[in-house]
Amino acid sequence: MQTNLYVLRLGEISLKKNNRSVFEQTLKHTLKFKLRPYSTIIRTSKGRMFVEIEEGTPQNKIDEVLSKTFGIVSYSQAVSCEKELKAVCTMAVRIMSRDLRPSAIRTFKVETVRSDKTFEHLSYDISREVGHAVLEAHPDLTVDVRNPGTVIRVEIRDKAYIIPYEKEGQKGLPVRAGGKAMLMLSGGIDSPVAAWYAAKRGIHLHAVYFHAYPYTSDEAKEKVIALARQLNPYLDGVVLHIIPFTDVQLRIKQVGLEEEQTLLMRAAMVKIANALARANECTALVTGEALSQVASQTLQSLSFTDHISDLLILRPLIGFDKEEIITVAKRIGTFDISILPFEDCCTIFSPKHPLIKPDREVVTRHYREAGLGEAIEAAIEQEEIITF
Ligand code: ATP
Ligand code: MG
C-alpha cells in the first residue's frame, strides 16, 4: 500500500507518565475510526504520533480529521529518508520545492532534533548543511532565525524525518480518555461552546435537549440537531436525547410561584439529566452556565441546582464573558446556528421578575411540593434518541 506520512505533535499526552499509553491508544482508535474507510498505520514515539494514510485519501478529509481531533497540538505532512546527511539535504530541497511554493516565502530556518544520539552529526551541523542545500537550490530565499517565513524541521529518529510546515490542532486530550458526561444542550450560544471545552479535556458527551412543543417550534429542535451535527467532529460520536418538556413546564406554571418558575424548571431539567446520565453511564453533567450571566446563574441559583443534582455539574464557561464565548462559538462554527431566531423553552416561560438570590432550602422544599415526579417520568419515557 502506498501511503503519505503525517507527523502529529501530542503535547499534554506526552507529559502523562504511567497511563500515557491509554491516551495514545484512545487517540489512535479515534483517528483510525474517523479516517475509515481509508487504511492507516499508526505508531507513537516520544511525544509524536506517526500516521501513514493510504494514498488517494482526499486532503480535505485528512485536514478535517487532524484539525478537529482533540489531543493533537499540531500536525504536518512529512517525509522520511535514510539517516544520511546527503539524503536529508536532497529530501529537504525537494520538499521545499514541492510544498512551500518558495515564491510566497522569503525566509526560512532549519531546526533539528536529534533523538538518536548515536547519529554522527550534531543538530547544529545538520541544520547548517540542510540550510546551505536549500539556499543553493533557492537563491531567492534567505535564512532568518528570529522571524522565519517558514521552519523546516529535521528529526533524527529511527529514520530521518523532514517536516516542512505545521498546521494547528485543537490541543487538549483525546475524547473518551476522560470519561463520559451528559451535556445540557440548548439552542443558545453558550452550551455548544461548553461542549467543546468539556470534550477538549477528553470527555465523551451525550447531550440532552428539552423541547417544549408547541411553545417551541420544530425549527428550534432542528436547530439543536444542527448544533449537535456541527459539534460532532469535535465530540466524536455525540448521542442526542430529546425530551418532550411541555407537560413538566405546564405543571410548574400551574403550581409554582411566578418568581420561582425558572428555578423550578432548571431543577426539573437537572433531575431528568441526572436520570439520563445514570442510564447512559455518564458521571457528570455539563452546562453552558456562566456566573451572573442571567438570574438563574447567580451563585445562589447555581447553588440551588447543585443541591438538586446528585451528579457533579461541570460548568466550563463559569468565568467567561459573553464576548469570549462568542469568539469561540464563531471559531467552532456554532455561532451562526445558535443565532437563528427560534425561541427556546426558557424564554417563553420565563417570569417577569425571576428570583435572583433564592434561598436554597426554601426553593428545594417548593420543588418537592410541586410534585413533578410523574410528569418527569412520563417525559423520560418519551425520549427520542439521535446518534451522530
Ligand atoms: P445557552 O446560550 O446555552 O442557551 P443561556 O445563557 O440561554 O445559555 P439559560 O437559558 O439559563 O442560559 O441556560 C443555562 C444552561 O442550561 C444552558 O447553557 C444549557 O446548558 C441548559 N439549558 C437551557 N435550556 C435548555 C434546554 N432547552 N435543553 C437543554 N439544556 C438547556
Ligand atoms: Mg438558553
pLDDT at residue 346 tops 70 = no
For residue 332, the SS3 value is coil
What pLDDT does 345 receive?
57
Per-residue pLDDT at 293 = 86
Q: Which residues neighbour ligand 2 (ion) by CB within 5 Å?
A: 186, 188
199-208, 243-252, 288-297, 375-384, range with the lowest pLDDT: 288-297
CA torsion 138→80→88→47, rounded to 10°? 100
Report the distance separating Cα 182 and Cα 205, nearest Å. 6
What share of the chain has pLDDT > 70, as a percent? 97
352: confidence class by pLDDT, cuts 50, 70, 90: confident
Q: Which residues pair with 240 in a beta bridge?
A: 207, 386
Report whether pLDDT(135) > 60: yes
> How many whole angstroms from 72 Cα to the centroid of ligand 1?
30
Nearest atom, ligand 1, residue 344 CA: 27
Q: Mutate which of 183, 184, 186, 313 to test ligand 1's pocket (most atoms within 8 Å of Cβ)?
A: 186
How far apart are the C-alpha atoms of 28 and 34, rounded to whole Å? 10
Least-confidence region, from 31-35, 100-104, 240-244, 333-337: 100-104
Is the pLDDT score of 342 beyond 80?
no
Separation of 200 CA from ligand 2 center, angstroms? 22
Is the Cβ atom of 23 under 6 angstroms away from ligand 1? no
Instruction: Give the closest residue to 358 by CA, choosing from 281, 320, 306.
Output: 306
DSSP state string for 91-159: HHHHHHHHHS-GGG--EEEEEEEE--TTSSS-HHHHHHHHHHHHHHH-TT-EE-SSS-SEEEEEEESSS
Q: Hey, which of 182, 183, 190, 291 would you mutate to test ligand 1's pocket, going by the most ligand atoms within 8 Å of its Cβ?
A: 190
- Poorest-confidence range of 11-25, 28-42, 189-203? 11-25
- Which residues, 6+ apart, have CB-to-CB distance to 197 below 8 Å? 316, 317
Q: What is the DSSP letter of 296?
A: G
Mean pLDDT in residue range 222-245: 97
What is the mean predicted confidence (pLDDT) over 134-163?
93
Predicted TM-score (pTM) of the model is: 0.92
User: Is residue 146's pLDDT more than 90?
Assistant: yes
Strand ranges across the sheet with 312-314: 312-314, 284-286, 180-184, 204-211, 239-244, 384-387
Question: In which band, very low, low, confident or very high, does the pLDDT at 126 lie, cut at 50, 70 and 90?
Answer: very high
Q: What is the average per-residue pLDDT within 240-253?
A: 96
Kindly tell me the sign of the dihedral angle through the C-alpha atoms of 177, 183, 187, 193. Answer: negative
Say whether pLDDT at 284 is over 70.
yes
What is the model's pLDDT at position 99? 65
pLDDT number for residue 324: 98
- pLDDT at residue 344 in the model: 64
Res 55: pLDDT:
94
Cβ 235 under 6 angstroms from ligand 1: no
Mean pLDDT of 226-239: 97
Q: 155 forms bridges with which residues in the sheet? A: 113, 161
**What is the rounded average pLDDT for all residues in the chain?**
93
With a 6 Å cutoff on the Cβ, whether 209 touches ligand 1 is yes
pLDDT band at 1 (very low <50, low <70, confident <90, very high): confident
- Closest-lying ligand to the alpha carbon of 339? 1
| pLDDT for residue 63 is more than 70 | yes
pLDDT digits (tens, 9 = 90+) for 72-118: 999 999 999 999 999 999 999 998 877 666 567 889 999 999 999 99
